[in-house]
């Protein structure tokens, strides 16, 4: 019996020694790996930035969305400044009414980065608007004198209202004007940067970024929408292919950049009318018309058809939280992590929760 106990004790000791030796080997391996890892480059996913626009015509509901999103929004763009019939900056009455409340709310929320967006929509003396007026851009940037006058007004406006910077959203730019437009971007950036202000530039998907002399310094925002809309028949605002193609195109941009995704959707009527819808409006139509939406795999968008009280056929396409998640994942896969959202106002609860987990 004693012999057997000694044998068992010997086995136990041997087992312990084996564990000790194995542990020492593992520690040695880990130490060596740590030494090697010091010399290996570590890849880290960039911290994504999220910005959003709030518009003059929907600032109340936009402000509600902003309050719910809280500090999940890194910067806010006030889509607010247009032009009058004298080519001077113009604010609508709605924005004049809403701007103080917006600025107070952003201040209370600790959102320091609030930018004024200027768009080349022009109101004539009768109040009629010409949207995305290319001739206006021509006049503003055609010479050093005209650019300086325009920049002076822009900088003065930013300083007077206390904005952190400017965003220029000039669209439908004529090919002949691009050289002067890029000079305008450069000169405006230099003026703003000298006083600690920022500059963002919005670019349309059709912009030939590879051949344009775009200056370094501004943040560039590529619009990844308008695939279908008021200019076309029914379809999604964006799909995976569009986002992927634009993400590749954005690699040619100098400096920092973001991709802009558009919420909501459109309602196409058989009579030719096209109406923009917020996500909540599109969802309410589903309920009121007892429609059953289907989801498009290529875009993640929802779509459905219904007939109105006059028997007219309608087709609706819109984005919800699943759509937005799919778009953001496609962008991230292509190396684009910074997202700009067009726009706040009547965003669905699911989407708000997705954006503020």
Q: 209-261, pLDDT tens digit by residue?
A: 999 999 999 999 999 999 999 999 999 999 999 999 999 999 999 999 999 99
Q: Which residues pair with 122 in a beta bridge?
A: 83, 130
Average pLDDT over residues 148-169: 98
pLDDT of 343 higher than 60: yes
- Per-residue confidence (pLDDT) for residue 48, from 0 to 100: 86
The band of 357, judged by pLDDT with boundaries at 50, 70 and 90, is: confident
Give pLDDT tens digits for 288-328: 999 999 999 999 999 999 999 999 999 999 999 999 999 99
Beta bridge partners of 319: 264
Domain count for the chain, please give it. Answer: 1
Q: What is the CA radius of gyration of the chain?
A: 28
Half-sphere CA count of 295, side-chain side, radius 13 A: 9
- State the CATH number of the domain containing residue 150: 3.20.20.80
Secondary structure class of 40 (helix, strand, coil):
coil
Do residues 285 and 292 lie in contact, with contact meaning Cβ atoms separated by under 8 Å?
Answer: no
Give the C-alpha separation, 261 to 284, whole Å.
22
Q: Which domain holds residue 212?
A: 50-263+321-355
CA-CA distances (angstroms) from residue 113 to 82, 137, 162, 355? 21, 27, 11, 18
In which band, very low, low, confident or very high, does the pLDDT at 45 lie, cut at 50, 70 and 90? low
- Residue 39: per-residue pLDDT: 44
Whether 27 is covered by a domain: the verdict is no
The answer to whether residue 59 scores a pLDDT higher than 80 is: yes
- In the prediction, which pLDDT does 107 show? 86
Asked if residue 35 is part of any domain, the answer here is no
Examine the pLDDT at 274 and tell me if it is beyond 70: yes
Burial class from Cβ neighbours inside 10 Å (0-12, 13-18, 19+) for residue 234 reads middle
268 by DSSP, 3-state: which?
strand
- Does 220 map to a domain? yes
pLDDT of residue 46: 67
pLDDT of 218 reads 99
Neighbours of 132 (CB within 10 A): 16
Q: 3-class SS at 42?
A: coil
Task: Write out pLDDT tens, residues 100-156.
Answer: 999 999 988 778 799 999 999 999 999 999 999 999 999 999 999 999 999 999 999
**pLDDT for res 109:** 77
Assess whether pLDDT exceeds 50 at residue 27: no
Q: Could you tell me if residue 119 is inside a domain?
A: yes
Band of the pLDDT at 11, cuts 50, 70, 90?
very low
Does residue 20 carry a pLDDT above 50? no
- Residue 167's pLDDT is 99
Query: What is the pLDDT at residue 309?
Result: 96
Q: What is the mean pLDDT of residues 35-53?
A: 64
What angle separates helix 144-161 from helix 134-141, to the nearest 10 degrees?
100
Are 63 and 105 spatial neighbours (Cβ–Cβ below 8 Å)?
yes
d(CA 340, CA 250): 14
266, with CB counted inside 10 A (0-12, 13-18, 19+), is buried
Mean pLDDT, rounded, for 24-42: 40
DSSP 8-state secondary structure symbol assigned to residue 70: G
User: What is the phi/psi pair of residue 305, to 5°?
Assistant: -125, 150
Tally of CA atoms within 13 A in the half-sphere of 2 that contains its CB: 0
**Sequential DSSP letters for 73-103:** -SEEEEEEEEE-TTS-EEE-HHHHHHHHHHH
In 3D space, the residue among 201, 192, 189 whose CA is nearest the CA of residue 164 turns out to be 192
Q: Tell me the angle at which helices 144-161 and 178-194 cross, rounded to the nearest 10 degrees.
A: 40
DSSP three-state, residue 287: helix
Structural domain includes residue 306? no
Q: What's the average model confidence in pLDDT over 333-340?
A: 98
Domain presence at residue 162: yes
Any domain includes 13: no
Asked if the structure places residue 337 within a domain, the reply is yes
Average pLDDT, the chain: 90
Q: Which two tokens stand for residue 49?
A: 């930035």
């Amino acid at each position: 019996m004693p012999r057997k106990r000694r044998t068992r004790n010997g086995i136990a000791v041997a087992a312990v020694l084996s564990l000790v030796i194995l542990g020492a080997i593992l520690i040695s391996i880990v130490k060596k790996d740590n030494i090697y890892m010091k010399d290996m480059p570590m890849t880290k996913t960039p911290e994504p930035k999220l910005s959003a626009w709030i518009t003059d015509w929907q600032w109340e509901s936009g402000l509600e969305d902003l309050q719910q999103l809280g500090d999940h929004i890194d910067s806010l763009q006030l889509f607010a400044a247009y032009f009058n019939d004298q080519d001077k900056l113009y604010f609508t009455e709605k924005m004049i009414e809403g701007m103080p409340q917006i600025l107070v709310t952003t201040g209370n929320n600790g959102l320091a980065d609030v930018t004024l967006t200027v768009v080349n929509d022009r109101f004539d003396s009768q109040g009629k608007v010409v949207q995305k007026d290319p001739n206006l851009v021509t006049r503003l940037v055609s010479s050093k004198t005209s650019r300086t006058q325009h920049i002076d007004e822009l900088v003065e406006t930013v300083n007077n209202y206390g904005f952190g910077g400017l965003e220029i959203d000039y669209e439908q730019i004529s090919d002949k004007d691009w050289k002067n437009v890029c000079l305008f971007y450069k000169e405006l950036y230099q003026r703003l940067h000298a006083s600690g202000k920022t500059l963002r530039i919005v670019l349309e998907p059709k912009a030939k970024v590879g051949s344009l002399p775009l200056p370094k310094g501004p943040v560039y925002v590529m619009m990844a929408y308008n695939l279908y809309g008021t200019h076309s028949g029914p379809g999604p605002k964006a799909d995976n292919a569009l986002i992927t193609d634009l993400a590749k195109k954005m690699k040619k941009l100098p400096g920092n950049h973001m991709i802009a995704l558009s919420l909501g959707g459109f309602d196409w009527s058989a009579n030719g009318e096209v109406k923009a819808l917020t996500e909540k409006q599109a969802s309410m139509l589903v309920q009121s018309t007892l429609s059953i939406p289907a989801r498009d795999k290529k875009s993640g968008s929802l779509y459905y058809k219904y007939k109105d009280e006059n028997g007219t056929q309608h087709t609706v396409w819109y984005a919800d939280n699943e759509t937005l998640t799919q778009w953001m994942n496609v962008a991230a896969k292509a190396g684009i992590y910074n997202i700009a959202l067009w726009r706040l106002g009547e965003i669905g609860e699911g989407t708000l929760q997705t954006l503020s987990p």
